[in-house]
Amino acid sequence: MPLRIKPTVDFAFKKIFGSPENDIALIGLLNAILDFERPIEAVEILNPFSYQEFSDSKLVVLDVRCRDSAGKWLNVEMQVSVYAGLIERLVHYACRMYVDQLTVGGNYALSNRSISICLLNRVLFRDIVQAHHRFQMLDKESGRELDNAIEVHTVEMTKYNLDEKTISKASKLEQWAFLLSKAQDYEAEELKQLLAGIEFNTAITTIETISAKTRDKSMYDQREKAQRDYEWAISGAREEGREEGLEQGIEQGIEQGMEQGMEQGKLAGTIQTLELLLGDAVSTDEELTKCETIALTTRIAQLQQRLRDRQS
């Protein structure tokens, strides 16, 4: 029977890539994305998987932080939704990791590269077919790169050709995208035949364990429901925005030249979505429409900061 376990659900993702005994799977994923001249050989997971993390949390927990043997700091996360400020948050997180390396009185020259990686189960950049973006600090004229600085990667998995007939000959990154997107539809042995290598075998075995182990499966089911509720909150806000004539809702942000009433409606929708995600009481339309634009934008900034703080 199919495994019926989605690796994109936070419990499964963190158990696969955040368990120290599975470091070969995390190394395989990182090398497929980063494609360094010298591949990563070892990692130290800084926020390892724990059952307590999921039993206590109501938020979606999808990041794995680690440091490789060369000293680079890395954060890899799975995002099931695309929301306003996502790119900025990834940059913020990479900067934060970079700054956290420096101790009081430390030498700036000893700082190592800080890399933020985001795997997406949705389309982020709709105007381009490119699936993997690598953002680095470099000089536009000469192309000179700051090696030991910050770096941000986005991987839109749905843009890859995830065909089981060709996946065995695809790139490693496409193979990981296939596993993360489609593992639930296959039996473990089928996946192992399609995706060769110890890194994939380790990941598939972990998924199989989750599907069979009562405690893991029970917690997975709870977290899948929490994730559905999270996605429902986002999609509900988008649908409400469409009904009010705000075609792109919170995804498009605040556009210049919009009529005042429509702009305030979009700001109100953003506030209500953020309040849902934070578990706050949701403000009514009547309350928000009485506020000035500057008050609404200030409120959004405050809520976004709270969400970042809880996810970091």
Confidence of residue 257 (pLDDT cuts 50, 70, 90): very low
Amino acid letter, residue 249: G
10 Å CB burial of residue 40 (0-12, 13-18, 19+) is: buried
pLDDT above 50: residue 303? yes
Q: How far apart are CA 46 and CA 44, in angstroms?
A: 6
Confidence of residue 294 (pLDDT cuts 50, 70, 90): confident
Q: Concatenated DSSP letters for 153-203?
A: EEEEGGGS---TTTGGGS-HHHHHHHHHHHGGGS-HHHHHHHS-SHHHHHH
List pLDDT tens digits, range 20-63.
999 999 999 999 999 999 999 999 999 999 888 777 655 555 68
Q: How far apart are CA 89 and CA 238, in angstroms?
A: 21
Cβ-contact 241, 261 below 8 angstroms: no
Amino acid letter, residue 80: V
List pLDDT tens digits, range 172-218.
999 999 999 999 999 999 999 999 999 999 999 999 999 998 889 99
- Which one is predicted more confidently, 225 or 202? 202
pLDDT above 90: residue 93? no
124's CB contacts (< 8 A; 6+ apart) are 82, 86, 87, 154, 156
Q: How far apart are CA 15 and CA 183, in angstroms?
A: 15
* Integer CA distances (angstroms), 54 to 9, 146, 196, in order: 12, 37, 31
Mean pLDDT of 114-138: 94
State pTM to two decimals: 0.75
Q: Torsion-angle region of residue 193: left (phi > 0), alpha (psi -120 to 50) or beta?
A: alpha
Q: Concatenated DSSP letters for 227-294?
A: HHHHHHHHHHHHHHHHHTT-TTGGGG---TT--HHHHHHHHHHHHHHHHHHHTPPPPPHHHHHTS-HH
Q: How far apart are CA 303 and CA 146, in angstroms?
A: 33
pLDDT on residue 12: 95
Say how many C-beta atoms besides its own lie within 10 A of residue 178's C-beta: 25
Q: How far apart are CA 140 and CA 138, in angstroms?
A: 6
